[in-house]
Amino acid sequence: MTPTVYINGGFVPESEATVSVADGGWLHGAGLFETMRAENSRVFRLESHMRRLMNSAAKLLRPIDQSRLPSPDDLRSLMDHNELVKARLRMTVTAGATRADISDDAEPEPNICVTASKLTTYPGEMYNHGIGVIVCGFRQSPADPLAGHKTTSYLSRLLALREARSARCIEALWFTTDNHLAEGSISNVFVVSGEKLRTPSLATPVLPGIARAAVLEIAADAGIEIEEGQLTVDDLLDADEVFLTNTIMQMMPVIAVEKHTIADGKIGTMTKTLSEALRDLVKKECSQG
């Protein structure tokens, strides 16, 4: 089967999906993306993904009306074309042609592309026994206009992940220039201190993760005390539990930060409880409608 992609309102074979070499995403990394989880041909929290992308587009590129973005029916059709019911979808929006490639009185039109591939998960032993992470040598600056947005300017994250892979880890944690815990290269991070669930605030700044928000909702409904604020390296290392979130991994327990073992090196009760609840929430929401 030849993979099919959605691009600028239509479906074409992957080999025929192209953009101009004058596109701002190609030339300058001027683009945004969303990685989405679909089960039963339904995207988990699609509206949240669209809202995040449109908010970032308005701040970094130019406002995009939601009518320009693929609809739920478009995404279901894309999955049907690729014979998928459980899928990893990636939507990429780039700035479109540079000013030199268009007339003086025209606004560049963004390029919008969605790809669909089989939804693959991390190995089961990672969820059963937890993982190790590193603290990368790079720093996240609150003054960076891209911080807190999911942009295609991703090389620094890939370099941090390469550093993690070299240490036989799957994630690299970032701290800010003023030494506050921020996020993982591809995830949000939570720590459990006693009965309290803590995570860096969005103002750190960090990406407003879709799974992050879902976990906070679940925790609030369960009556768990939540703190969104500034966390230090000591808060991380002294935590009773640590876990990561994103829509593909959902919740991943962390048992070690480099050579430091978190608590007793076992997956904690709150992590197990919230992880199960998140899986149930995804199944429930993706079975509706």
pLDDT digit string (tens) for 158-181?
999 999 999 999 999 999 999 999
The reply to whether omega before 205 is within 30° of 0 (cis) is yes
Across the chain, the runs of DSSP E, i.e. the strands, are 4-7, 10-13, 31-39, 42-43, 87-94, 111-118, 131-140, 172-176, 181-184, 188-193, 196-200, 225-229, 241-246, 250-257, 260-261
pLDDT number for residue 289: 59
DSSP 101-145: GS-TT-PPPPEEEEEEEE-----HHHHHH-EEEEEEEEEE-TT-T
Among 25-34, 39-48, 96-105, 243-252, whose mean pLDDT is lowest? 96-105
d(CA 184, CA 81): 33
Whole-number pLDDT of residue 107: 74
**Domains, the chain, ordered by start:** 4-118 (3.30.470.10), 124-286 (3.20.10.10)
Comparing 95-99, 190-194, 231-235, 265-269, the range with the smallest average pLDDT is 95-99
Task: State residue 7 phi and psi, 5-degree precision.
Answer: -145, 120
* Nearest alpha-carbon partner for 188 in 140, 238, 222: 140
Residue type for 42, please? R
Task: Please state, in angstroms and rounded to a whole number, the distance separating the CA atoms of residues 38 and 42.
Answer: 5
What does pTM read for this prediction? Answer: 0.95
Tens digits of residue pLDDT in 104-140: 556 778 999 999 999 998 999 999 999 999 999 999 9
